[in-house]
Homo-oligomer: A and B are copies of this chain.
Amino acid sequence: MAAPTAGVAAKDELVGEGAGASAARAPAAEAATTRTAQAIFLISIAGGEKERLILISWQLLLLLLGVVHRPEEGFIGCGNALPFVTMDFVYGPGKNHLFVPGPVNIPEPVIRAMNRNNEDYRSPAIPALTKTLLEDVKKIFKTTSGTPFLIPTTGTASSIHPSACTTAPVPHQLPSNNQFLDQFSLLWIDQQQRLNFRVDVIESEWGRGADLDALASKLEADRSHTIKAVCIVHNETATGVTNDLAAVRKLLDGYRHPALVLVDGVSSICAIDFRMDEWGVDVALTGSQKALSMPTGMGIVCASPKAMEAAKTAKSVRVFFDWNDYLKFYKLGTFWPYTPSIQLLYGLRTALDLLFEEGLDNVIARHSRLGKATRLAVEAWGLKNCTQREDWFSDTVTAVVVPPYINSADVVKRAWTRYNLSLGLGLNKVAGKVFRIGHLGNLNELQLLGCLSGVEMVLRDVGYPVKLGSGVAAAAAHLRNTTPMITSRI
């Protein structure tokens, strides 16, 4: 043996190899068992008197089948390589055409930005990034005075904020919404009731907007200002109804009523005109997977100075959903009371960059022309919009009423199983009666036209005698007259 001159271990340091190796192999042996139990398949074997069930590992199977390579002259054996299988659940060729009203298509730059390892969120990089996000999300609410919060959870959970953070359980809330007829208002009312708020609901029919006359009566009657907040869903995702927030503000001002205005803007903000400061909205919220075109997982809440003031004395039970926890860290400049998703932060940065690159008003104009085009197609098909009046039409989702002899769930099923087209089901009261076309987020004209041509084929498939091309033609006529040139390409 050569006598090494430096860095050589004393003999006794070399002891342990054997022990180590055998210690090492023991868990390896266990691993094999674990894998066998997990990844395989089995195999009944027959023969003789009675059937026996035996387990064969993937490796053995694959070896038998000749799939696994046993390299003749490679320097290392690789006998138990696992197969590399990449097939998805329910694969279909080509793109999935995603037209549910959320989660929506994520643009490639956002997917790219999120394609990253975790980071230490306590390093200076994350606060620096967060600061830019907090500044910039105010723009999507059109507020300069508001305080934004990025909530690491879904929109549904975030919708607890408006009430829970600003009002005490006893004072009642007045959801001036199309209640008992729309799914998302119902969910919100339920949440508030669980938080022990007294909720005085103004009902309307599904497909109609908030009853502003009824709201007026209530406000007029409430001389003692027991109503602490008016809650309203800006855009009802289940029916495609957009409410007139400016009108709500006008009513409150008319009655000089001090109630807070709390707005669920989950399916409107970044897509339908929303003006927090101008309309005197006190708390508004949206979710990452809607018009921001990100994955699910981040609620974005913004509170007016009046709401922030109210929050100081509000007495509802708050644990996770407490703005004060955030404010403490805002002051420290570290921003995060909880561990944020690093990926969603970079995703949000990019989503905002794309919005501002296109121009927020252009984004809203795009939703407006896609919404109008969809409604023109529905009309051309001879079908009815679930929304009952033009001024409530939603630019982010259209609920299409099917004829009584058709089950709208069959439309959705056929679209997915034959054309790789994902449409929205009818929910609750309109289940079976409507299907929904979501047209929000990072979406363009030809994507929508592809969807509409798919809906036409599906309608024919389920027995509705639509003329192929009729809806597409109507939509295209509008789009061709309104679609701007792509600024960066002129």
Contact = CB atoms under 8 A, between A and B. Distances in A.
Contacts of A55: 36, 40-43
Assembly stoichiometry (copies): 4
Interface residues of A, number: 222
A97 to B, nearest CB: 5
A319 B235 CA distance: 22
A330 to B, nearest CB: 11
A421 B451 CA distance: 16
Nearest to A333: B71
Contact of A52 (B26, B45, B80, B421): B45
12 contacts: A4-B381, A13-B465, A20-B480, A24-B485, A32-B487, A42-B54, A47-B48, A73-B332, A74-B124, A120-B424, A160-B320, A468-B472
A436 to B, nearest CB: 11
A118 B105 contact: yes
A285 interface: no
A105 B95 contact: yes
Interface stretch (A245-253, A303-311, A404-412): A404-412
A356 B34 contact: yes
Given A24-B482, A30-B361, A72-B333, 5 more contacts: A38-B357, A71-B128, A93-B366, A103-B342, A122-B424
A117 B88 contact: no
A387 interface: no
A97 B95 CA distance: 11
A108 interface: yes
A97 B96 CA distance: 14
A317 B320 contact: no
B56 A43 contact: yes
A447 B94 contact: yes
